[in-house]
Amino acid sequence: MTCLNGYVRIKVLMKDAVSRANLNLSLSFLFSSPSLRTLMPLFDADTGLLMVTGMVRHRLMFFCSAFLSHCMTDTSTRGVAMVPKLALDVMSCEVVRVLQLTDSCIVPISYQVPRKEFHADLYPDTVGTTPAMSAEEWWKGGNKQVERVSLHPDKQPKPKAASQAPAKRDLPSVNSCHSVPQESTRGCSTSSSPLSTASSSAAPSRSPSTTSGLSSGFLPSPSPSQSIKTLHNLMGPSSKFRHIQGAVMHKDTHITNLRGLNLTTPGECDGFCANARRVAVPLAIAGGQIAVFELSQPGKLPDTALPTIQNSVNVADFCWDPFDTHRLAVAGDDAKIRLWQVPEGGLTETLTEPELIVQGHTEKIYSIKFHPLASDLLVSSSYDLTVRLWDLEKGEQVKVLTGHQDQVFGMAWSPDGKLLATVCKDGKVRIYDPRKSAEPVQEGPGPEGHRGARVVWVCDGKYLLVSGFDSRSERELYLFSAESLSSGTIAVAPADVSPSTLIPFYDPDTSVVILTGKGDTRVYIFEIMPEAPYFLECSSFNSPEPHKGLAFLPKTECSVREVEVARALMLSKTSIEPVAFTVPRVKKEFFQDDVYPDTAVWWEPALTASAWLSGSNGQHRRISLKPKDMTPVSEAPKEAPVRKYLPSAVYLEEKTDEQKKEELLSAMVAKLGNLDDPLPQDSFEGVDDDEWVSEVLDFPVFLSSLVNFLK
């Protein structure tokens, strides 16, 4: 390879395989691209044809003993491969077929000789597919050659008749994790690369002579229901939420003109939090100030200063009490947790004195979480590598959990409130039973990356979903069995490359998890299954600009008439915008009971903190989201299928000459209209004779006036 005046000259030499001497055949190419890499040759030993192309090139050159032709491709080449000779369409005189790999697709490129039928001079016998010997025979010195076969269609093996066809075997179900490998099933949830044809030559069609199997006509065609079932078994299960749509709601519901937001909250903090009535947002103002906005009062905020909550120290994390929409818990850098009470109607003045302060950690706090069932019970993690439980009713610490060797990235209570899961920077995922032991009851390997992580319980507490980073700092989702953490992950779903941690929100009613990170524009949505392939990817939502994060509202805020399964608040630099996630359905007039099972009333406590600490357990009551005036879709009347087109017998029915003549006459009469109808001019009024005489007498006067005017 040499470079001359910005051009690259590549030379190809041919050598004798025995003497290694250069032969008198050399090929030289001149390219204008200095970034061209090594050429990739493809050689057909049967015909002596040589194809040459290079990376990032748009040209595929074709040689024999001299340059024959070249093919200009639409996109850059990332790789090429030659299709076996037995797969060619010999009846169309296809001599070579090459597959071109591009950035987004695989393009078949076909080379054909302009002839018809099969020509033996174009297709010498080629190497078959039966091995000539085993590896052991070759190792002992064997030199047998693979038997060559003819490409003539008449000499190809005939397809077996239906009576000789082997018995049909049941296809393995992708739902079974024992019958199908995890890698093969997980790939079914992503879309495959499109297959397109190069503009220089169309993809060859399969000749009837090479067709075999079900398409040959010997075997009966499967019914549509069997085809759908077979396709479902092959492609894997699909989520009924795969077409979920996210949309920003009307501007009338937005809170705009936000100023001075704190965009650098710690990685363990979700960024902001909301409940059914109000939203809390941190401000980049000295003193750890937090602004509280009422969701019932949307619109543009005034340019003047707003009343805030002043914590006097930097805010590490904060969250609303799930059972009290007025109480906000704030963790600060001074290792203290402050409880604030927001008055009815929102803040009217700046709050400086908290309702309660609890202290026990010796270093800065990472994050805080309220218990999902017991009231006045809070858990916190700190730089002192401990996790502590607080009884807020008594204002004291009740439990200290140990065992972490590094920073605690995230915590999550189990759905029944019995267990606490943590994910740590030391690469471990742990499960605690706080009422029984201060040490973890289970421990297993977690994400390898050290940038951050989150954990959430899914599938009725059977699994743990962890969002984190791998060893290459790529974001991934990990699924663990809650009964066997030590066994490691049972499924992994890759996301993308981004520095921010994916923050998950899990809806137990639909088993849908929605994830996004701070500063992201894309929101990922998956349905989690308790069996393989575990992750079913759904349509994602993209925001027009990077957002700070999402905070989800209770299920009762969703519009079931619009099949809304989740509603979130999206925080941007200057506004808070509601986002509705809906499932497209045809019969919206019915209540979609398959999407809306009875939901838990998690905003009401099931027991007190003292009762839980004494060993009692509880569960939330459940309510139906069905409006009284809606009928469940499962009880909707069955509609008879409507035929879109007339049956073929109508079009194929033979008509007599008399019928054709009558139809023609009817069409002509319909076009001309009814002959008995009066003509339009019949309705016009005539002019009396006296009017004609007066008009004639006045005409000379009119002419004389016109002449005088023209003069």
pLDDT in tens, 102-151: 878 888 888 888 877 787 888 888 888 889 888 888 888 888 888 888 88
The answer on pLDDT for 4 being more than 50 is no
Contact 603/372 with Cβ under 8 angstroms?
A: no
476 Cα distance to chain centroid = 14
Q: For the segment 311-346, what is each residue's pLDDT rounded down to a tens digit? A: 989 999 999 999 999 999 999 999 999 999 999 989
> Where is pLDDT greater, at 159 or 495?
495
pLDDT-derived band of residue 49, with 50, 70 and 90 as boundaries?
A: confident
* Residues 68-84, mean pLDDT to the nearest whole number: 75
Q: Are strands 59-63 and 299-300 parallel, antiparallel or unpaired?
A: unpaired
The answer on pLDDT for 184 being more than 70 is no
* Residues 608-621, mean pLDDT to the nearest whole number: 93
Report CA dihedral (71, 75, 80, 83) to the nearest 10 degrees.
Answer: -70
What was the pLDDT predicted at 689? 62
Distances (CA, A) of 369 to 218, 411, 511: 66, 8, 22
Distances (CA, A) of 627 to 290, 423, 556, 632: 37, 41, 11, 10
What was the pLDDT predicted at 35? 47
Q: Which amino acid is at 81?
A: A
Reported as half-sphere exposure (CB side, CA atoms, 13 A), residue 73 has a value of 30
Torsion sign over Cα 230, 234, 236, 242: negative
> Of the given ranges (140-149, 253-262, 403-412, 626-635), which has the lowest mean pLDDT?
140-149
593 Cα distance to chain centroid = 24
Structure token digits, residue 150: 């003819």
- DSSP for 472-512? TS-EEEEEEETT-GGG-EEEEEE----SSPPEEEEETTTTE
What was the pLDDT predicted at 513? 96
* Residues 620-631, mean pLDDT to the nearest whole number: 93
> Where is pLDDT greater, at 156 or 553?
553
Reported as half-sphere exposure (CB side, CA atoms, 13 A), residue 570 has a value of 30
What was the pLDDT predicted at 175? 36
What was the pLDDT predicted at 160? 47
Q: 3-class DSSP state for residue 164?
A: helix
Q: Are strands 299-300 and 255-256 parallel, antiparallel or unpaired?
A: parallel
Compute and round to an integer the Cα radius of gyration of the chain: 38
The answer on pLDDT for 699 being more than 80 is no
pLDDT-derived band of residue 188, with 50, 70 and 90 as boundaries?
A: very low
Q: For the segment 517-526, what is each residue's pLDDT rounded down to a tens digit? A: 999 999 999 9
How many whole angstroms separate alpha carbon 568 and alpha carbon 558?
A: 10
pLDDT-derived band of residue 215, with 50, 70 and 90 as boundaries?
A: very low
> How crowded is residue 503: how many other Cβ atoms within 10 Å of its Cβ?
23
Phi, psi (deg, nearest 5) at residue 457:
-85, 140
> How crowded is residue 82: how many other Cβ atoms within 10 Å of its Cβ?
14
Share of the chain above pLDDT 90, in %: 48
The answer on pLDDT for 666 being more than 80 is yes
What was the pLDDT predicted at 148? 87
pLDDT-derived band of residue 53, with 50, 70 and 90 as boundaries?
A: confident
How many whole angstroms separate alpha carbon 588 and alpha carbon 651?
A: 37
What was the pLDDT predicted at 648? 63
Contact 483/441 with Cβ under 8 angstroms?
A: no
pLDDT-derived band of residue 16, with 50, 70 and 90 as boundaries?
A: low
Contact 290/315 with Cβ under 8 angstroms?
A: yes
What was the pLDDT predicted at 243? 93
Q: For the segment 467-510, what is each residue's pLDDT rounded down to a tens digit? A: 999 988 899 999 999 999 999 999 999 888 888 999 999 999 99
What was the pLDDT predicted at 19? 55
* Residues 152-165, mean pLDDT to the nearest whole number: 58
Kindly provide the residue ranges of all beta strands, DSSP E only, lying in 208-277, ordered along the sequence. 245-248, 255-256, 273-274
Share of the chain above pLDDT 70, in %: 73
Q: For the segment 439-475, what is each residue's pLDDT rounded down to a tens digit? A: 999 999 999 888 899 999 999 999 999 999 998 889 9
pLDDT-derived band of residue 88, with 50, 70 and 90 as boundaries?
A: confident
What was the pLDDT predicted at 86? 84
* Residues 418-445, mean pLDDT to the nearest whole number: 94
pLDDT-derived band of residue 190, with 50, 70 and 90 as boundaries?
A: very low
The answer on pLDDT for 194 being more than 90 is no
**Mean pLDDT, all residues of the chain:** 80
Contact 494/198 with Cβ under 8 angstroms?
A: no
pTM: 0.61
> Where is pLDDT greater, at 2 or 72?
72
53 Cα distance to chain centroid = 35
Residue 119: DSSP 8-state: -
Biggest CA–CA distance in the chain, Å, is 132
How many whole angstroms separate alpha carbon 682 and alpha carbon 668?
A: 24
